[in-house]
Amino acid sequence: MTLINGLKQLNIEYDEQKLKQIEDYYNLLIEKNKVMNLTRITDREDFYVKHVLDSLLLSQIINLSDQKIIDIGTGAGFPGIPIKIFFPDVEITLLDSLNKRISFLDEVIEKTGLKKIYTIHGRAEDYGKNPEFRESFDISVSRAVADLSVLSELCIPFVKKDCFFVAYKSSEIDKELIKAKNAINILSGSDPYINKIKVPCSDIVRNMVIIKKKIYTPKLYPRNPGIPSKKPL
């Protein structure tokens, strides 16, 4: 009942098919986690709360109807796959630099029967300069564990003008926001808006950092692979 209670708190519609897709996702994750490191969270209830419900917090701050989303550094598929399951009309691209994770995500997509969801093996620094992907998404999101200044350089180039980059952050981000101010400005982002949201069925508080793209990102960015993390703006 944890998942259902959490979905009710978030006012997200569900049915038996969506619940089965989440169950299939969990089972595949646990099975694959035996041979590769996908997550430290293996308890079913923790999976529902810390992965699924946490991923769905995006729906509380942005209308997801018919949005085109890219999930940067998606890892085991968070937040992209839970969003796709419960908001099937969105188009989602999952980007990750590790091919083994992409192979796992392809298995999840096949098993769950999800449509209009795509996987890319590669680095954000490369695809952020690719004309097919650059400034072509309504929302870019990331739950990746990286400094906001780094994430901004990796994620903002994918977003259309007047659209949004959203970073899932912990409750302690004041210093990080100060450090990221220069990077966000250089990359044509607005001053961040912070939406604090409690993850249902838990005491966890998320800071959802929302950055609107004001104008086009300078062509110099993102810089070559590895540089954003080694030399943050």
Read off the pLDDT of residues 211-227 as tens digits, 9 standing for 90 and up.
999 999 999 999 999 99
Q: Could you tell me if 180 and 230 are in contact, meaning their C-beta atoms sit under 8 angstroms apart?
A: no
Across the chain, mean pLDDT equals 96
Torsion of CA 9, 82, 17, 61, to 10 degrees: 40
Identify residue 43 by its one-letter amino acid code: D
- Which tens digit of pLDDT belongs to each residue from 49-73? 999 999 999 999 999 999 999 999 9
pTM: 0.96
- Residue ranges making up the domain that contains 110: 2-230
- For the chain, percent of residues with pLDDT exceeding 70: 100
Question: Beta-carbon neighbour count of residue 50 at 10 Å?
Answer: 18
- Can you give the CATH number for the domain in which 212 is found? 3.40.50.150
Instruction: Name which of 90, 96, 105, 94 is nearest 138 in CA terms.
Output: 90
Burial readout 57-96 (b: 16 or more C-beta within 10 A, e: otherwise): bbbeebebeebbbbbbbbbbbbbbbbbbbbbeebbbbbbb
Count of structural domains within the chain: 1
Q: Could you tell me if 133 and 148 are in contact, meaning their C-beta atoms sit under 8 angstroms apart?
A: no
- pLDDT of 171: 76
What single string gives the DSSP state of each residue in 149-187? Answer: HHHHHHHGGGEEEEEEEEEEE-S--HHHHHHHHHHHHHT
Between CA 3 and CA 144 the distance in angstroms is 23
